[in-house]
Amino acid sequence: MGFTLSNQQQLLSKIATGTGHGENTPYFDGWKAFDSDPYHPTTNPQGVIQMGLAENQLSFDLIQEWVLKNPEASICTAQGAKEFKDIAIFQDYHGLPEFRKAVANFMGKVRGNRVTFNPDRIVMSGGATGAHEMVAFCLADPGEAFLVPVPYYPGFDRDLRWRTGVQLLPVACESSNNFKITRAALEDAYEKAQKANIRVKGLLITNPSNPLGTILDRETLKSLVTFINEKNIHLVCDEIYAATVFTQPRFISIAEILEEEDVVCNRDLVHIVYSLSKDMGFPGFRVGIVYSYNDAVVNCARKMSSFGLVSTQTQRLIASMLSDNEFVDRFIVESAKRLEERHTKFTEGLEEQGTTCLKSNGGLFVWMDLHKHLKEQTFEAEMALWRTIINEVKLNVSPGVSFHCPQPGWFRVCFVNMDDQTMEVALERIRHFVLQDKEAAVVAMKKKKNCWQSKKLSLSFNHRRFDEVNMSPHSPIPQSPLVRAT
Amino acid sequence: MCMLSTKATCNSHGQDSSYFLGWQEYEKNPFHEVSNTNGIIQMGLAENQLCFDILKSWLAKNPDAAGFQRNGESIFGELALFQDYHGIPEFKKALAEFMSEIRGNKVSFDPTHLVLTAGATSANETLMFCLAEPGEAFLLPTPYYPGFDRDLKWRTGVEIVPIHCTSSNGFQVTETALTEAYQEAQKRNLRVKGVLVTNPSNPLGTTMTRNELNMLVNFVEDKGIHLVSDEIYSGTAFSTPSFVSVMEILKERKCVDDNGCSELWNRIHVVYSLSKDLGLPGFRVGAIYSNDDRVVSAATKMSSFGLISSQTQYLLAAMLSDKKLTKNYISENHKRLRQRQKKLVSGLQKAGISCLKGNAGLFCWVDMRHLLRSNTFEAEMELWKKIVYEVRLNISPGSSCHCTEPGWFRVCFANMSEDTLDLALQRLKAFVTEYYNIPEVNGHHQTIRLNHSRRRSLTKWVFRLSFDDRSPIPGR
């Protein structure tokens, strides 16, 4: 029986054949470049250094040491094997009670024990990736929307939208005020949705922020709570970078805001997404958590967690590890200390070259401002610069456009997923590029002056380029249609 | 309560069905060999607890896999960071080879066509997301695993249209039933995207015949639709007739090369898991095998929502790469399952209860039609409640599996010790004796009213079966 191409296409779902997986974006292109030519200090010193992966590799020695000292935490060792069978057959989607208790304990400690978490509200998921999709399935129907402040983690486009049919609508945040989330921007985004007949079901924030590496202050958090209560929409707080905040101002969790006396909030609207992928550096173990203050959501999410439960082998290990209070307390402090050291080294190294980043105190990356190096203040120029950085400077960094950043020139640069030496090599490469680019800019300026005087090129074109080169770093960008987030 | 999604507030998660209610009762009063000997014995959970000793002895001899080490060196960091959705290559290779070994190496599986998922639960849902739009349908033979109502339909919006199978031919799928199901779907304006079968079958405990498989393949070829074969019980086929995978059927049709049936080749997909064959449901190890590159590609991306823990992948890669272990395990598993099933069947016989003749799975499909007050599902529920609350056995009523005939129950035998199984059988026998063998009904044991003639023939029949070593009602 013969089939036309369109028949063949229809045999698979639109979800399967479309591009909703989001993997055709530049965020992932850089990874492909890295995969084909990965840096290695001895075997491939000219390779691409991976700076597009927000991994925390600084504190494995502490964990390794703990694992060696605690063989009973593994069900496969002589000491732990007596539990092998019970663990292997346990498939209750409530999860091992000791796992939930240990995670609740850890979450509390990461927040300085200023709040406590109820283990019965802890629901497992397949990493934070699975958690976000699950929350979207619980809170919204296809066609409904979540508001998300820009710039935001590119994976949200897939996690919240792909299979759920939910929409993401940006809340405009500008570099001119360090991407603060303002009440005006929230109202604006909400109104736009109303006008377009799109029902807004919630607001999604990431705090600490990916890609900014900054935390939300108390005032902003309270204003978000006021906003969602007024509109009767949900607030989903992705707090997966909570323990990566290494210096003042300290991290404030939404859980703390809810306990404040002057805060009025319908708790049924508040949900936290958590994970051990960033704070502990365990992305491979797929430990995602949904913590909801809404009983119906806990109930529904728990049933949905069947699609992405945490392996009980891993639950057992984590339960053991995170119940060891002495270890946890030591780990949290030491991890933050190492993050601070690394952050300082990296940002100081950058400043020496005149490269600036958004001032940050958390995350596993910096939000680097390279707009001075753009040929023009457009996203095409950003893409061109990015290709240069990957192919010539040999660093995989993530361009701001993939984070829906409203202004071109920003790049997220990860620096915690490598050792000290590799970081030095990366800094050196950036230094070299910045120098070269400065020299090239000077040469270009000289050339332009000559062209300007020769009158051979169209005046208007040259005029604009001249202006842009002389613009101060923080003045508003000329209004190209690409600047506005859609 | 504020607004949640329709999915959150409806009940197509299927958890209100009796299948799950029985579990809840069990949770309230679970049997324990020492501390709660009067509790409810769990016979509704298809777990394989018979071969843990083999796995534990392997672990004792292989400390590397246990301790996050490779050749004595720690690889903890490497594992903890590994989140590539393509999976650990050694694991996929070992899993593909294991799948092949279970099929007597009659077919081979290409690891690059394997997609790892968090259990078969996730695999089945993911396949639906890839193969069908909301509102489209898959045909499933009844009776089927109750979890499918959640896994295939809940978040995907896909519909299930049943292919009605009956005891008249041992619940085999017939061409008539297939065609009727297809027409029923069309009547309901549902576009059929495929057929999903479980082979070996849950809850029947039987393998599909070559005839059935060929008929199914012909059907999907003719209609131009998909065939999903859930083969998670393939390693539990413990006696003849031997298990035949749909991949074997395809191979026999020489669909490997581009000679006209390669399109068909692309529409056949297999789901696998280690939850039943290896008894490791807690580890969440599932897989999709598809010959269609686009399905593999889409499903791989979707697996991001439910990857297998790298810690678990690493352990199982080591385990499944040990061919001595896998060979020994597969044969020992068959042997123990066979023995255990025999025990259950003969124990049931002594209670005057017969089963569908089974050769696979972790359960029997038990015929209690003769114990029903009437040939209705209400009567089935009544009987089931009695068995749960009074006999204190949690078994699964056929209605929860969408069986069209009342009176069938799925009874698991591999999730308990032999002693517990003995006790369960004793309780069942006592129950049947008490309620059905007493000739005079004078008000004492009056929960079931049978009409006079039926009761007499029932009593005769029950007595006969108790004293005869007659084999169960032939099904296959």
Residue B261 has pLDDT above 90, yes or no: no
**Mutation test of the interface with chain A: which of B73, B305, B417, choosing the one with the most A Cβ atoms within 10 A?**
B305
Active site residue B145: yes
CA distance B86 to chain A (A): 12
The two structure tokens encoding residue A47: 């390779």
pLDDT of amino acid A10 = 79
* Rounded Cα distance, B286 and B272, in Å: 6
Closest CA to A313 of A286, A290, A276, A288: A286
pLDDT of amino acid B457 = 41
List CB contacts (< 8 A) between A81 and chain B: 56, 59-60
CA distance A154 to chain B (A): 14
List CB contacts (< 8 A) between A277 and chain B: 83
pLDDT of amino acid B243 = 97
Contact A418, A426 (CB under 8 A): yes
Residue B472 has pLDDT above 60, yes or no: no
The beta-carbon neighbor of B283 closest among A127, A306, A312 is A312
pLDDT of amino acid A480 = 27
pTM, two decimals, is 0.89
Tell me if residue B142 falls in helix, strand or coil: coil
pLDDT of amino acid A474 = 31
* Percent of all residues in chain B with a pLDDT value above 70, rounded to a whole number: 87
Contact A289, A70 (CB under 8 A): no
pLDDT of amino acid A186 = 98
pLDDT of amino acid B258 = 52
**Mutation test of the interface with chain B: which of A28, A302, A306, choosing the one with the most B Cβ atoms within 10 A?**
A306
Q: How many CA atoms lie within 13 A of B259 on its CB side?
A: 7
CA distance B72 to chain A (A): 12
* Percent of all residues in chain A with a pLDDT value above 90, rounded to a whole number: 79
Phi, psi of B189 (to 5 degrees): 60, 35
Average pLDDT for A343-353: 95
Tell me which chain A residue has its CA closest to the CA of residue B8.
A138
The two structure tokens encoding residue A208: 């600490």
pLDDT of amino acid A363 = 95
The beta-carbon neighbor of B8 closest among A14, A138, A312 is A138
- Convert the pLDDT of each residue in B76-97 to its tens digit: 889 999 999 999 999 999 999 9
- Convert the pLDDT of each residue in B340-365 to its tens digit: 999 999 999 999 999 999 999 999 99
Active site residue B232: yes
Q: How far is CA B83 from each of CA A58, A319, A414, B121, B309, rounded to the nearest angstrom?
A: 17, 21, 17, 20, 8
Residue B411 has pLDDT above 90, yes or no: yes
Angle at alpha carbon of residue B65, lines to B59 and B71, rounded to 5°: 125
Average pLDDT for B267-285: 97
Residue A461 has pLDDT above 60, yes or no: no
Q: With an 8 Å Cβ cutoff, are A84 and B304 in contact?
A: no
Residue A238 has pLDDT above 90, yes or no: yes
Q: With an 8 Å Cβ cutoff, are A88 and B1 in contact?
A: no
Average pLDDT for A256-270: 96
Active site residue B41: no
The beta-carbon neighbor of A16 closest among B6, B298, B305 is B298
Residue A460 has pLDDT above 50, yes or no: no
Contact B139, B194 (CB under 8 A): yes
pLDDT of amino acid A30 = 79
Residue B217 has pLDDT above 90, yes or no: yes
Average pLDDT for B53-69: 85
Strands A270-275 and A234-238: parallel
Residue A466 has pLDDT above 60, yes or no: no
Q: If you ran DSSP here, which 8-state letter would residue A40 be given?
A: B
Going by pLDDT thresholds of 50, 70 and 90, the confidence category of residue B219 is very high
Strands (E), B308-448: 354-355, 363-367, 393-394, 396-397, 408-412
pLDDT of amino acid A154 = 94
The two structure tokens encoding residue B423: 């006790």
Closest CA to B429 of B337, B346, B362, B364: B346
Residue B454 has pLDDT above 70, yes or no: no
Residue B260 has pLDDT above 70, yes or no: no
- Convert the pLDDT of each residue in A373-404 to its tens digit: 999 999 999 999 999 999 999 999 999 999 99
Tell me if residue B412 falls in helix, strand or coil: strand
CA distance B110 to chain A (A): 21
- Convert the pLDDT of each residue in A118-169 to its tens digit: 999 999 999 999 999 999 999 999 999 999 999 999 999 999 999 999 999 9
Q: If you ran DSSP here, which 8-state letter would residue A181 be given?
A: -
Angle at alpha carbon of residue A359, lines to A355 and A365, rounded to 5°: 75
Residue B62 has pLDDT above 50, yes or no: yes
Q: How far apart are the first and last CA of chain B?
A: 53
Q: With an 8 Å Cβ cutoff, are B76 and A57 in contact?
A: no
Mean pLDDT of chain B: 89
pLDDT of amino acid A459 = 40
pLDDT of amino acid B63 = 79
Residue B330 has pLDDT above 90, yes or no: yes
* Rounded Cα distance, B250 and B231, in Å: 15
Residue B13 has pLDDT above 90, yes or no: no
Residue A457 has pLDDT above 90, yes or no: no
The beta-carbon neighbor of A137 closest among B7, B134, B307 is B7
Q: How far is CA B398 from each of CA B4, B98, B361, rounded to the nearest angstrom?
A: 33, 32, 16
